[in-house]
Structure 1
Amino acid sequence: MKNYLNILLISAITLSLSGCVGGVVIAGAAATATANVIIDPRSNRDILIDNRIELDVSGLGNKAPFTEQARVTASAYQGEVLLFGQAIDQQVKNTLTAEVLNIDGVKSVNNQMQVRPLLPMSEVSNDVWITTKVKSRLLTEKELRGIKIKVYTEAGEVYLLGVVTREQAEIAIEITRNISGVKKVIQGFRYGVNESRIQEEEPAPTPAPVSKLSAVSASAAVSNEASAASDSNAEIIPYIEPVEVNSYQEQNN
């Protein structure tokens, strides 16, 4: 059964915590009868295409005109590409967006790259350490067993991506936002269905009331504001609308 809610969350929680670039895919313990198995609606072919897109984008930073001008990492899902990293100016960022849109299989681009000098190695190492801490903590959470969550960190901002339930999204966010050194938690979760709950004929989980987050439809790309938990100093940053391939090319012709 592929009962999939195509909901994309792109919201950032700015934290008031003090403390300390890498990307890691978190996979929980092997699935058991009680494991949380989430249905990913993508076919094997779609997954291969998304993986190729991510590799192609990662290689752009080592090619002219982006050498020493940008650091870019990508996450692709059914041809929808999320970019994060740094670009030295807005022109480089825009040029990179256009270049990614030309990659075969790309349907839209959401460029979250920061316009700033490239991170020094000391900050890159610190980001890798933060990613490691987030990874370790998520792996020990029993409610996230069997769940694949991509974790990336850029300048202390942690990106959480993957197909999860609403309840699992809340758990992963709450864990991450309380780790030392994390400045923001930026989620790009898509809501799937818990296969074990389907077999038990239980209703889909409802969002946990602790942290109310803005939900954005991938097709409508409309920003919604939401309030944060009363025990945190969180700020919801508006969703940035993806750039569709055709519209971007028309604007730049």
Structure 2
Amino acid sequence: MTPSNSSPTRRLALLATLAAALLGSACAPLVVGGAMVGGALMATDRRTSGTQVEDEGIEFKVGARLREQLGDRVHISVNSYNRMVLLTGETRNDEDRARAEQIAAQVENVNRVLNEVGVGMLSSISSRSNDVFIAGKVKASLLDARDLMSNAFYTVVERGNVYLMGRVTEREAHRASEVARGVSGVQKVVRAFEIISEEELARITPKPAPTK
């Protein structure tokens, strides 16, 4: 469950951290996303530690190959969760959009590619900054939802569209989608979950340490 000591100060700190991390690369034509692997997040993530590291490698490899083959004529964000690659952003034509998907699918260990890249003008820095702000609000809202474990969700925002990833139950997927839709500025919510059973969730959830 989400910790009960959530506060406005904590939420503002989260927003500031996200903005600093993401805006630093806002001018880049291609963005490679990735979850932190280490410390508390490594421990609470529902992927194995090996899969988390593998996803980081997938993001790096896909991003590098897109950069090499498509260059700065595209703006594509790459996110991988449990070997499923989510591509978001923009290309100027259908050929580059299709090529990006092919490049991602050919990377070792990729099981599936979800191509959500739009065709049109590349997004502006102000649009990407707004996405950072929306992402922060969605993450803060998930943190405040005490019936959800916020670290189970991997959030990506592009052009106001929220993409939710993670290994979650149908109950959690429905609730998280409901929370994200309630955030101002969100255009639509796209579920990119791996649905697991309540039994599987109970099996993979760390048991509390016995009290003395």
- Please name the residue that 2:51 is paired with: 46
Alignment partner of 1:115 is 2:95: no
More helix by share: 2
Alignment partner of 1:194 is 2:198: no
* Compared CA separation, residues 106 and 38, structure 1 to 2 (3 A): same
Identity %: 28
Alignment partner of 1:90 is 2:97: no
Find the structure with the greater CA-based Rg. Answer: 1
The offset of 1:75, in angstroms, is: 2.8
CA RMSD of aligned residues (A): 3.2
- Please name the residue that 1:17 is paired with: none
- Please name the residue that 2:11 is paired with: none
**Structure 1 runs of 4+ with >4 Å offset:** 21-26, 196-199
| Paired letter, 1:195 | A
* Compared CA separation, residues 181 and 25, structure 1 to 2 (3 A): farther
SS in 2 for 1:190: strand
Unaligned runs of 5+ in 2: 1-21, 24-32, 207-212
- Determine if contact 1:163/1:190 at 8 Å carries over to the other structure: yes
Counterpart CA distance in 2 for 1:186 and 1:152 is 10
Alignment partner of 1:104 is 2:111: no
* Compared CA separation, residues 158 and 48, structure 1 to 2 (3 A): same
For 1:89-139, what per-residue CA distance to the aligned partner results, in whole angstroms no more than 9, with x for missing partners? 111111212222232222332211111111000101111110011111111
Q: Aligned runs of 1:5-154 on 2, under 5 Å? A: 40=46, 42-60=47-65, 63-145=67-149, 147-154=151-158
Instruction: Report the TM-score, using the length of structure 1 for normalisation.
Output: 0.58
SS in 2 for 1:67: helix
Counterpart CA distance in 1 for 2:190 and 2:95 is 24
Counterpart CA distance in 2 for 1:184 and 1:149 is 17
The offset of 1:151, in angstroms, is: 0.8
Instruction: Report the TM-score, using the length of structure 2 for normalisation.
Output: 0.68
Unaligned runs of 5+ in 1: 1-20, 31-36, 200-253
- Determine if contact 2:83/2:112 at 8 Å carries over to the other structure: yes
Q: Aligned runs of 1:101-250 on 2, under 5 Å? A: 101-145=105-149, 147-192=151-196, 193-195=200-202
Counterpart CA distance in 2 for 1:188 and 1:84 is 12
| Paired letter, 1:140 | D
